[in-house]
């Protein structure tokens, strides 16, 4: 962790994910440097990283803006993610160890707890979910696959609408994870791939439905205006 540039990266990233910096906003290095309390050099580095994460775009004249994800972009990203995570699940099933399986079970147990709370703990759910998928990716054992997926997993729109998911959707997610665990326990790669692909695509449609609902209420574009 090289202090300043990582701090800048985290700071800008969270400003984008939270919507504090709305889609289309210009990202001037000097202004960001001041807001992050560092100089332009680490900010520049952070912007390049965010650009490769596709959270930031640059015009042909090198000016940076918060990326504006259209509905099609999100669909595109989910489609690719479904394919790649499916692949990861297949590889993971074929290489699964008992120790890793325990960690995956633990993550899903934490998810169950978060969902079971009197008031569903969405942040807890997201954390458990992240761990669950991270262990699978680790067991899949492909640096490249991990690198490719890392640019697809965190999208601002999704992040901001995750809280719209109902308890039912969270519970269904937990159930699909249980099925994945069964596939892993049997080391059945094809099964794991099928479930994972469906799991991601279902998550996409849950997002799309929630987003459509918001759009009808005129609640989505406000941040960009």
Choosing from 55, 64, 92, 158, the residue that interacts with DNA (CB under 7 A) is: 64
The C-alpha angle 193, 196, 202, rounded to 5 degrees, equals: 140
DSSP classification of residue 162: G
152 binding partner (options its own copies, DNA, none; Cβ < 5 to 8 Å by kind): its own copies
Position 76 contacts its own copies (CB under 8 A)? yes
Taking residues 144 to 173 in sequence order and writing x for each that binds its own copies by CB under 8 A, - otherwise, the string is: xx-xx--xx---------------------
Whether the CA torsion 115, 89, 190, 100 is positive or negative: it is negative
Choosing from 15, 27, 181, 195, the residue that interacts with DNA (CB under 7 A) is: 27
Dihedral-angle region of residue 218 (phi above 0 means left; psi in -120 to 50 means alpha; beta otherwise): left
Choosing from 12, 13, 16, 42, the residue that interacts with DNA (CB under 7 A) is: 42
- Distances, alpha carbon 33 to alpha carbons 38, 44, 120, 126, in Å: 5, 9, 37, 30
| # binding residues, its own copies (CB under 8 A) | 23
d(CA 44, CA 8): 9
Short-list 157, 146, 5, 179, CA closest to 68: 157
* Stretch binding its own copies (CB under 8 A), from 11-19, 29-37, 43-51, 94-102: 43-51
Position 61 contacts DNA (CB under 7 A)? yes
Choosing from 19, 22, 25, 45, the residue that interacts with DNA (CB under 7 A) is: 45
* Residues of the shown chain interacting with its own copies in the complex, contacts defined by CB under 8 A: 2, 41, 44-45, 48-49, 52, 54, 62, 73, 76-77, 80, 83, 87, 142-145, 147-148, 151-152
């Amino acid at each position: 962790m090289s202090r300043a540039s990582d701090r800048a990266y985290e700071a800008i990233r969270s400003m984008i994910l939270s919507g504090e910096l709305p889609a289309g906003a210009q990202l001037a290095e000097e202004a960001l440097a001041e807001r992050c309390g560092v100089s332009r050099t680490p900010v520049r580095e952070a912007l390049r990283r965010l650009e490769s994460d596709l959270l930031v775009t640059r015009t042909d004249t090198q000016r940076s803006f918060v990326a504006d994800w259209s509905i099609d972009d999100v669909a595109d990203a989910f489609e690719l993610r479904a394919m790649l995570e499916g692949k990861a699940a297949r590889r993971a099933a074929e290489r699964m160890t008992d120790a890793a399986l325990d960690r995956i079970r633990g993550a899903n147990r934490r998810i169950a707890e978060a969902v079971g709370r009197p008031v569903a703990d969405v942040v807890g759910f997201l954390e458990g979910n992240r761990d669950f998928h991270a262990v699978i990716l680790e067991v899949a054992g492909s640096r490249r696959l991990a690198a490719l997926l890392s640019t697809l997993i965190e999208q601002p729109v999704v992040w901001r609408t995750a809280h719209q998911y109902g308890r039912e959707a969270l519970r269904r997610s937990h159930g699909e994870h249980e099925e994945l665990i069964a596939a892993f326990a049997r080391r059945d790669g094809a099964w794991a791939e099928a479930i994972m692909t469906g799991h991601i695509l279902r998550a996409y449609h849950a997002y799309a439905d929630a987003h459509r609902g918001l759009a009808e209420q005129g609640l989505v574009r406000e941040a960009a205006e």
